[in-house]
Amino acid sequence: MTIVIGTIIGSGIFLVPSAMIKAVGSPAMVFVVWIFGGILTLFGALSYAELAAAMPDSGGEFVYLGRAYGPIYGFMYGWSQTVVGKSASIAALGAALVIYLADFFPSLERVWLHTSWPIGPEGAPFEIRFGQLVAMGFILLLTLVNYSGTRIGGRVQVAGTFLKMALIAAIVVLGLTSHAGSVANFGIAYTGDAGHAPLGGVAGFFSALVAALWAYDGWSNGPMIGGEIRDPEKNLPRALIGGTLIVMATYLLANLAYFYVLSGPEVAASGRVATAAMSKVLGSSGGSIVTIAAFISIFAGLNGMILSGARLPFAMARKGQFFAWARSIDPKFGTPSGALLFLGLFSSLLLLSGRFEDLARMVIFSEWIFYAMTAFAVIALRRSQPSLPRPYRVLGYPLVPMVFVLVAVGLLGSTLWAYPRESGLGLVLIAAGLPFYFHWRKA
């Protein structure tokens, strides 16, 4: 359960409420989206729990999709996670680091390189900011740290996780008990600024849902280590379901504190909502403390993503399903050197493609294609392999997995329509794996 909770809670809870209220307008709708996203995540966790109990080997979706649809789908999941899911997540966390660092160094927002190419977000000219270069430096630094051995990276991870949970608990307690807050703030909606009104309607709901699902993302990582835990048939379902419920409660409490202290327009005006809330409660020093703590928390999340993310391309390479150099192990440090360097360099390259929000949308779009396919695998395997042992059967079958799949399809369609650049880039990177699959299968 701690693995599930630790991998879910990252940068999202500190950053996405601003984007969410800009999409839906009212604090009440923000809470509706958080609850809906939590229930949707729970439906996904329930579906994964049946698959995890039936096939407790390490590998997660790589195993489930291969068993349900054929080996090419397992490969495409692994490829997608390597070149989009993990890499873009690392890039997004790097961008999130700079958002908080810019609180102390505003010059990071300055443009370093400006071009006339209309390939930036929303068709704008392509630009590279100083903050992106600094974020690349952090990614490469942590890549070298993990290259030098897992012990250092593990210690950074433990310290960061403890700080992260302590920070959220402090924000909740200080916010909800502060005299600076008011219940009236929950009724103050965001109506827009500088000619930009909230999206509203279905488009606004799905846009806010994408932001919320970035914060919930990581719930599927538990089954990846199914072969390494005791009694996976019992413990994996408990970890997935219990961990998801705890995270959902944590997020709702944090947002109660945010909107108790800040009005809707104030939340929308601050990309660093936790910092803004604590600045109002404790003054500028409180905001600075939260900024530093959130920076360390996201730094630890970035370290953890690099630490664990290299396992998948390393494992695929050892099976002949990825570039041969990705299976190399450093003779001195004993770390998967080729996979680590690939992940660090490719993530740094993706970082140049956009801002934090753009990268998060790319991650959610690409990952939810395979989340939907995995949830549907529950139904497919019930029909094709009815004799497969199932120590746990998903509650509410077939309604729970089908609702998850249908909402996922709606989410993907809405994201592709609203953000074709980020979604299209994710699709291109996924499709690029097909020729490699056929080449490696032939070899």
Task: Report the C-alpha gap between 191 and 194 in whole angstroms.
Answer: 11
At residue 283 the predicted structure's pLDDT band, cuts being 50, 70 and 90, is: confident
Q: How many CA atoms lie within 13 A of 330 on its CB side?
A: 16
Whether omega before 118 lies within 30 degrees of 0, making that bond cis, reads: no
Q: Tell me which residue of 408, 409, 398, 426 sits closest to 37, measured CA to CA.
A: 408
Residue 189 has pLDDT above 60, yes or no: yes
Supply the pLDDT for residue 430.
92
pLDDT digits (tens, 9 = 90+) for 48-60: 888 888 887 656 7
Question: Mean pLDDT across the stretch 383-389?
Answer: 91
Supply the pLDDT for residue 1.
62
Residues in the chain: 443
Supply the pLDDT for residue 3.
61
Are 93 and 11 in contact by the 8 Å Cβ rule? The answer is yes
pLDDT digits (tens, 9 = 90+) for 69-127: 988 998 998 899 888 888 888 998 888 888 888 878 888 888 777 777 665 666 666 77
Are 112 and 386 in contact by the 8 Å Cβ rule? The answer is no
At residue 400 the predicted structure's pLDDT band, cuts being 50, 70 and 90, is: very high
Question: Mean pLDDT across the stretch 200-215?
Answer: 88
**Topology adopted by domain 2-442:** Amino acid/polyamine transporter I (1.20.1740)
Residue 168 has pLDDT above 90, yes or no: no
At residue 184 the predicted structure's pLDDT band, cuts being 50, 70 and 90, is: very high
| 92: CB partners within 8 A, 6+ apart | 11, 214, 356, 359, 360, 363
Q: Tell me which residue of 155, 15, 20, 166 sits closest to 95, measured CA to CA.
A: 15
Q: Tell me which residue of 177, 218, 242, 201 sits closest to 60, measured CA to CA.
A: 218
Residue 216 has pLDDT above 60, yes or no: yes
Largest pairwise CA distance in the chain: 68
Residue type, 169: A
At residue 20 the predicted structure's pLDDT band, cuts being 50, 70 and 90, is: very high
| 268: CB partners within 8 A, 6+ apart | 18, 21, 22, 190, 193
**Percentage of the residues of the chain whose pLDDT score is greater than 70:** 89
CA 4 to chain centre: 12
Token pair of 440, please?
A: 């490696």
Lowest-pLDDT choice from 208-217, 292-301, 359-368 = 292-301
CA 359 to chain centre: 10
Q: Greater confidence, 167 or 72?
A: 72
Q: If you average pLDDT over every residue of the chain, what do you get? A: 84
Supply the pLDDT for residue 29.
94
Supply the pLDDT for residue 119.
59
Residue 378 has pLDDT above 90, yes or no: yes
b or e along 96-121 (b: 16 or more beta carbons within 10 Å of the residue's beta carbon)?
bbbbbbbbeeeebeeeeeeeeeeebb
Question: Mean pLDDT across the stretch 288-304?
Answer: 80
At residue 355 the predicted structure's pLDDT band, cuts being 50, 70 and 90, is: confident
Rg (CA), the chain: 21
Q: Tell me which residue of 153, 158, 152, 109 sits closest to 131, measured CA to CA.
A: 109
Supply the pLDDT for residue 223.
55
At residue 36 the predicted structure's pLDDT band, cuts being 50, 70 and 90, is: very high
